[in-house]
Structure 1
Amino acid sequence: MRSIDIPKTSQLSKTITMSFEPNKDNTEQQRTRFLSTNPTYPTIPKTESPTSFEKREWVKSTRATVNFASPQRVTATKQFLATSKNTTVDDTEKAFSPTTRPSTSFVPIVPRMWIATNKTPSKDDICKLPELYKDLNLFVTSPSEWLEKSVLDQLPFYGVPKELKVLVCTWNINQGVFSQDVVNTWTQYISEGADLVCAGVQELDMSVDALITGNKYSEKADKWESLLLTSLNKTGRDEYVDSGWYQLCGVVLFTFVKKSIKSLITKTGIGSCRTGAIGGTLANKGGVVIGFQIYDSTICFVNSHLAAHQGFLERRNKDWEEISKIRVEYLSGAETTRLNVLDHDIVVWLGDLNYRIDLDDQEVRKLVVEKDFNTLYRNDQLYTSRMKKKVFHNFVEARLNFLPTFKINQNGEYNDKRIPSWCDRILYKTERRHGVTVEKYNSFELYNSDHKPVSGVFKVCLQQINQVKKKTVIDFFNKAEEWYRNVVVPEVSAPVTYFEFKEPELMKSYSQTLSIRNIGKTRMYLEMKKSKEYEDAVQYSWVKIDMSTDHVDITEGKDEVLITATVNYNQNNSFLYQNKEACKFVFEIAVKFTKHVIPMIIKVFPKQTCVGLSLNELCLLNTPVIGMTSNVYDKSPFYVPKEVYRIVDKMKSLREDELEYLFQFEPNEKQFNDVLQAVDNDLPFRTGISASSYFAVLLLIVAGFKDSLLHDDFLSQIQVMSQNEVMVKRYLTYMMLESHKNLYVFLVKFISNLILKGVDKNRLLDVFSKVLIHTQKSDTDLITSCYNFLEKSLQIL
């Protein structure tokens, strides 16, 4: 008996210490009760793959727990759909299998004569060949993926599909060595005629020495190999020989093969990874890998023991991630090649994965009695983690039609201190048109450990390659690649790339739309490139850009993308209205997968108004912002801007009944513009204008100061300054600029006047706290501090 590439020395054997000696009764007495009759459950239609079933169950689980229209529901569905798009090949129609019709010649999607003559096709030529158009689009997004797909599409020409049947078994044996009858029950699916057998055990040797050294060999592993080999050869129909085993502490992976086909294995590789306690130093958890090259395909088996306990889900996911990074070492003479676990053509992952069921213990036991496997499965941690793309990416698991395998007492009942769970699992993944079909996947009623064993029979589709023919195919596509590159050069028509908004009115939205047309021969993928400052900065809050689609086809009606720019100067960004730098925005439309970009410019030419000027500018202005006036003013600078003074003076003259509905109605648009025009031109106010219209213009002017009334450099101190009246008074007396203090005191007294006339105090403080600083609605903490500052100012002024 041998372990792969691990020499057995007598010295090493002497260091092995047995920490557990199985009870003779347990070893001799057969404790088996095979669940021969499947429990009743809704069956999967034969045409439905495991992936389709998982998709249906995932949607059911989100419907059961989340409102259908909620964001969580939408996100959950998107998460699954994102997962299912790249799922592993499970259906034989996608895999290269014996049912695939062979081909005596290879026929690429692009006409071979076009490549030979280097023909430049027209757009019409391509539109007549939809498959070629799809192929060109794939080349645009990923030339490497296109090349791999193109070569694999010709497998019927240069490859021959080969099928092997694989028996996969896993069992956490809790350091036991069981009787031959028990092992025979576990491996009974050998009667299905498996060509290759992989048996993984966990917790074989958990001695202190093994935990520290991560033993790569133990006498107990030898005993298990002997038991397994005897079991496989019990029928005498086929002779099985060991093809190596590999051990890391308690995790051992045994492989056996029919003697008649052993010569098909041309390479063998191994690898291991510790993920145990003390940051992976100990080997109580981890994984081992054995890989083979059979025909021209690679297949590897991973046996792992992941982190235990209900609440350690993220630790289990991390363990999987670490083990999946193992690089399997293949020795061929003096040369060593390494292949990542997940890069093999077929990966079969087995073991005590320790994923639990996230339901209350009593609920789980009730569902177990009812054999409601669907509900249990929808709450299984491994299933939900896979659907969220956290682990086992692109892996597939056959439907679980057996009872949870953990934690079992010697009498076959579930342990009272653990929630019954499917800890023991077998999953698989395929690449490059390889296929796997599940023929059996079951657990056995063996109670020699606290886990029940699991076994599965899988039919795998491998490939035998005619290398000469394959080289012919590769040479053709290498030549075709240059032709594809010339065809997919993007061609764009964008006659106008400049948005111009002249004198947009405040508090209104304006939109303009430009078009970009695809005049090339392939789909064009676009991406809007904006600086990070655009996403975060208040200075760009006045502009919004939308793109109608991120990809543009070549067919009429689908060959155009619309770029819409919308500008809106409102109370939150009115201080930018007169800022020449802020009224210009530059962005780019990038053609993805290329270096081509289309620069776009948005330019705003604001109308002349008092909104957006600084407080000092308005105080120094003794003429109207627009035109001339017959009014005579005292020498400037003014105590407060005349525009603010006029509106406040007008509102003070209003009766209580006119102020009663100040916050009840939205300001009338025409009245709002009339008031703003009156203060800009220094004209008398029209009669019949509502209080809300005057008030809206006042708030806009105050919010629109280039420098906020409460200085920007005060914002970092405002939370401290607004804590008590003493701090507020200190700031007003010693720290505030004179011009700002004058206006602030003027407004606070105006607020007091409105309160005396019955206007709601809280509403007044709320609206003014949002215009005293340059802020956004999301700055709730800052707005709250301004509110407190205003409230204390009312008490001291």
Structure 2
Amino acid sequence: MAPLTVFVTTWNTGLQGSKAQSQDLTGWLLPVLHNTAKDPELPEGIVPDLYAIGVQELLPVHLALAGLSRPVLAALTNRIQSLLSAHATSLSPNKTPEKYSLVQRTSHVGVALWVFARDKTMEGRLGKSGTATLGLWYGGMGNKAAVGVRVPVRRGKDGGWEIFTFVNTHLEAHDKNVPRRNAQYRDILSSLVFNTTDPLASPTQIFETSHLVFLGDLNYRLAKTPPAAGLRDGKESDDVLILEKARAEMVDNDTLRREQREGRVFGGLREGDLTRFAPTYKRIVGQVEGYSKKRIPGWTDRILFASHTDPPHLFSPQSTLDPIPAQAPHSTTAIVHFSSTPELTISDHKPVHAVLSLPEVEHSAPAPHLAPLLPPAPSHHSPRPPATSREVLLVYKLLGTILDRIVGWPWCLVVLLGGGNERTGMGVGAFLAMIWGVYWTGVWSA
């Protein structure tokens, strides 16, 4: 099979996922239609074999905690599938109809992940996919969460099976919570487990795969307020060298890169060149440019990945400062494109996307369970933790779901009482509670 192209994107919709249904999503999912002038290295005729699409804060928290995300998920699924299929058809010879099929969709509270495959190149090459979900907040609640999709792909004519794992997550917010984010990442390593119905197969963790893509609102910020020169979204009239130099100084203060260099998180994962676009958070809703003064800006929205064919030196502490070396073996997964979409303005985050090109396979694994796997964590990182037992995970997920609903449903009632306004609803609820209390006081005193 020829090299495989994977399009990956992450977007924190700022609780506005339902509004995304009515937006022009081509800049998010088909950036080639918008960015060719600015980013000439992005091929015009690219039609990815796989799409991995992650969102966070899909809808207001009270609705998400109450488990009411299904209508928005269904509507977005249909919209995305239609958009991808129409684009592929428009680029096909003689406009031959093309189609993207949904491989798997999974969600947990406000975090959702879709994987689509292009029928023309992937039909008959996919094995049985699986999903995993994990609440990351206290007690297993899901207002911070991780979800995963695992897909076996036959990349050779008769064999060459490989496992693709996509993980989408939303980690703890606020500048001070770096240790908390690090701990949540370790929880994902141990507890985002893919179970199987095969009695001969064991549950698998996210690094037990041939290719891993880790995306989401990871919430790592800059260590200090950056210079204004690097906070502009690049325009054709800008001096690109000056802009990238300013951003390079900002990357040095990126707390994710710092924690990675120190061996605390994301061992064995790499990413594209962050200087290619401005920090994606905290942007001003309704504006293409500009940042809120309430937060230190940062590249909170990230896409990291690893392939079993990547050489080990790409994951050394030094290489995290130079993620795309000039010389790399032909077997290395290449970053064809890495950028953001500032034109989408309904959220205080900007979407990020990456196009990855995986080289032709050089192995002949005859079955998914014999697929090559990623190596252990680099030496300057701690060993990855063992998997949490299924029994413990079941209890943890049950507790988290109960807590989500206990918070979510009363919250929905408060908002409903206020006609959609939470503060009004709290006032109405307090008034009703007072009347109820006066009534029962009178009953008992009588």
Tell me how many residue pairs correspond in the alignment: 302
The CA distance in 2 between the partners of 1:467 and 1:381, in whole Å, is 39
- Per-residue CA deviations over 1:370-417 (Å, capped at 9, x if unaligned) read 631110001001111111111000111111110010111122321111
Which segment is superposed worse, 399-408 or 199-208?
199-208
Give the distance between the partners of 2:111 and 2:253, measured in 1 at CA.
27
Matches of residues 321-720 of structure 1 in structure 2 within 5 Å? Answer: 321-329=186-194, 331=196, 337-359=202-224, 361=225, 363-369=226-232, 371=243, 372-400=246-274, 401-409=276-284, 410-412=286-288, 413-431=290-308, 435-445=332-342, 446-461=344-359, 463=361, 465-466=363-364
Residue from 280, 289, 312 that aligns with 2:148:
289
**Alignment-derived partner of residue 164 in structure 1:** 4
Return the offset for 1:210.
3.1
Q: Deviations over 1:217-245 (max 9, x none)?
A: 61111111122112212222332111120
Write out per-residue CA displacement over residues 27-60 of structure 1, whole angstroms, 9 at most, x where no aligned residue. Answer: xxxxxxxxxxxxxxxxxxxxxxxxxxxxxxxxxx
Cα pair distance change 1:345/1:202, threshold 3 Å: same
Deviation at residue 465 of structure 1 after TM alignment: 4.7
Residue 372 of structure 2 is matched in structure 1 by: none
Question: Is the alpha carbon distance of 1:162 and 1:291 closer, same or farther for their aligned partners in structure 2, counting shifts above 3 Å?
Answer: farther
SS of the counterpart of 2:350?
Answer: coil
- 8 Å contact kept, 2:309–2:333: no
Q: Which has the larger radius of gyration?
A: 1
**Amino acid paired to 1:411:** Q
Q: Give the residue type in structure 2 aligned to 1:265.
A: L
Partner in structure 2 of residue 298 of structure 1: 163
Write out per-residue CA displacement over residues 493-526 of structure 1, whole angstroms, 9 at most, x where no aligned residue. Answer: xxxxxxxxxxxxxxxxxxxxxxxxxxxxxxxxxx
Contact 1:364 1:420 in 2 (8 A): no
Residue 21 of structure 2 contacts residue 75 of structure 2 at CA under 8 Å; is this kept in 1? no
Cα deviation 1:73-117 (Å, max 9, x = unaligned): xxxxxxxxxxxxxxxxxxxxxxxxxxxxxxxxxxxxxxxxxxxxx
Does the 8 A contact of 1:268 with 1:293 survive in 2? yes
Q: Is the 8 A contact 1:267 1:294 kept in 2?
A: no
Shift of 1:270: 1.0
Secondary structure of 1:255 counterpart:
strand
The structure-2 alpha-carbon separation of the partners of 1:380 and 1:416, relative to structure 1 and needing over 3 Å to count, comes to: same
Aligned 8 A contact 1:407 1:418 in 2:
yes
Deviation at 1:251, TM superposition (A): 0.3
**In the alignment, is the contact (CA less than 8 A) between 1:180 and 1:231 conserved in 2?**
no
SS of 2:24 mapped into structure 1: helix
Does the 8 Å CA contact 1:297/1:464 hold for their aligned counterparts? no
Aligned partners of 2:9 and 2:191: how far apart in 1?
21
2:328 counterpart residue number? none
Name stretches of at least 5 consecutive residues in structure 2 with no aligned partner.
33-44, 93-97, 155-160, 233-241, 311-330, 367-446
Name which of 221, 225, 240 aligns with 2:77. Answer: 225
Please state whether the residue corresponding to 2:123 is helix, strand or coil: helix
Structure-1 separation of matches of 2:83 and 2:218: 25
Query: Which residue number corresponds to residue 315 of structure 2?
Result: none
Tell me how far apart the structure 2 counterparts of residues 168 and 367 of structure 1 sit (CA, whole Å). 25
Shift of 1:364: 3.6
Structure 1 378/241 Cα, relative in aligned 2: closer, same or farther at 3 Å? Answer: same
Change (3 A) 1:438 1:270: same
C-alpha distance in structure 2 between counterparts of 1:353 and 1:223, whole Å: 26
Q: In 2 relative to 1, CA 328–162 (structure 1 residues): closer, same or farther, beyond 3 Å?
A: farther
Seen in structure 2, the aligned counterparts of structure 1 residues 326 and 432 have a Cα distance that, compared at 3 Å, is farther
Deviations 1:768-794 (A, max 9, x none): xxxxxxxxxxxxxxxxxxxxxxxxxxx
Sort the Cα spacing of 1:216 and 1:350 in 2 relative to 1 into closer, same or farther, 3 A: farther
Deviation at 1:435, TM superposition (A): 3.8
Q: Is the 8 A contact 2:230 2:278 kept in 1?
A: no
Q: Which runs of 5+ in 1 are unaligned?
A: 1-160, 469-797
> Comparing 166-175 with 431-440, which one deviates more in the overlay?
431-440
Deviation at 1:331, TM superposition (A): 4.2
Question: What is aligned with 2:128?
Answer: 267
Question: Which of 178, 197, 200 lines up with 2:20 in the alignment?
Answer: 178
**Pairwise CA distance, 1:344:** 0.9
Q: Please tell me whether the aligned partners of residues 170 and 201 of structure 1 are also in contact (alpha carbons under 8 angstroms).
A: yes
Equivalents in 2 of 1:326, 1:262: separation in Å? 32
Question: Given the superposition, is the C-alpha separation of residues 275 and 181 from structure 1 closer, same or farther in structure 2, using an over 3 Å criterion?
Answer: closer
> C-alpha distance in 1, partners of 2:303/2:268?
14
Match among 30, 38, 43 for residue 188 of structure 1 = 30
- Cα offset, 1:206, TM superposition: 3.8
1:308–1:467 Cα change, 3 Å = closer
Letter matched to residue 223 of structure 1: A
Instruction: Specify the SS of the correspondent of 1:254.
Output: strand
Give % identity. 26
**Paired residue secondary structure (2:179):** helix
Tell which has more relative contact order, 1 or 2 (C-alpha 8 A, sep 6+).
Answer: 2
Alignment of 1:21-60 (within 5 A): none
**Once the two structures are superposed, what CA deviation does each residue of 1:230-274 show, in whole Å capped at 9, x if it has no partner?**
221222233211112000000000110011313211121111111
8 Å contact from structure 1 (residues 394, 429) kept in 2: yes
- Cα pair 2:6 2:355 within 8 Å, conserved: yes
Q: Secondary structure at the match of 1:315?
A: helix
Structure 2 distance, partners of 1:188, 1:444, is 10
Distance 1:225 1:335, change over 3 A: farther
**Residues 459-468 or 219-228, more deviating:** 459-468
Q: 1:337 to 1:264 in 2, by over 3 A?
A: farther
User: What is the Cα-based RMSD across aligned positions, in Å?
Assistant: 2.4
Contact 2:172 2:219 (C-alpha < 8 Å) held by counterparts: yes
Displacement of 1:342: 1.1
Are 1:286 and 1:323, in contact at CA under 8 Å, matched by a contact in 2?
Answer: no
TM-score by structure 2 length? 0.63
Offset, 1:173: 0.6
